Amino acid sequence: MFVSVYSDGELRGCIGLVRPAMPLIEAVISCAVSCATSDDRFAPLAPGEIDSAAFEVSVLDAPRTLDSPSRLVPGLHGIIVTNRARCGVLLPRVAAERGFSTEEFLDAGCRKAGLPPGRWRQPPTVVEIFTAEVFGDPALRP
C-alpha cells in the first residue's frame, strides 16, 4: 500500500509498504502523514497547502517474481527491483505517465534502487511485479 500526495498537480510525496506490516487503515494513516511531512525528496506540505492537497492510495496485490520481461505490462504492473540491500519500487502509473517501454521501466526501477540501468538482467537482482487498485478523486489527479 502506498499513499501519494499532490499539491497543485505536482507530486509532493509518496510513501508506502510493499508487504503488509499493520492493518490497512493504520498503514494508510501512517503513510499519509509520512508522505506529506517526511518524504526527503520533497519539502513538507505547509499548513496552508493541506486543504488543496490531493491524496491517493494504491493498494498493491501480492508481488510475484517476474520470470520474463515479456510478462511485464507497463502501466498495468508496478515493479519492485531488489539487489541485496537495495530496493526500488515504482507504481504502475509511473510507466503510464512517462510512456516507458518495458526496458525503460525496468531501468527506471534499477535507478530508483540505486543500481545502474540494465542491472535487472543480472543476478542477484530480483524483479517482482504487482498490480494496484487506486483510490482517490480522479478529478484531483495530475
The domain spans of the chain are: 2-60, 64-132
Residues whose CB falls within 8 Å of the CB of residue 6, separated by 6 or more in sequence, listed in order: 12, 53, 54, 55, 56, 140, 141, 142
Q: What is the pLDDT of residue 138?
A: 67
C-alpha cell at 124: 542477484
Domain 2-60 and domain 64-132 have a common topology: no
Q: Which fold has domain 64-132?
A: Dna Ligase; domain 1 (3.30.1490)
Rounded Cα–Cα distance for residues 106 and 90 (Å): 9
What architecture (CATH level 2) is domain 2-60?
2-Layer Sandwich (3.30)
Q: What is the pLDDT of residue 52?
A: 85
pTM for this prediction: 0.92
Radius of gyration of the chain (CA): 15
Q: What is the pLDDT of residue 116?
A: 98
Rounded Cα–Cα distance for residues 88 and 34 (Å): 18
Positions in the chain whose pLDDT score sits under 50: none
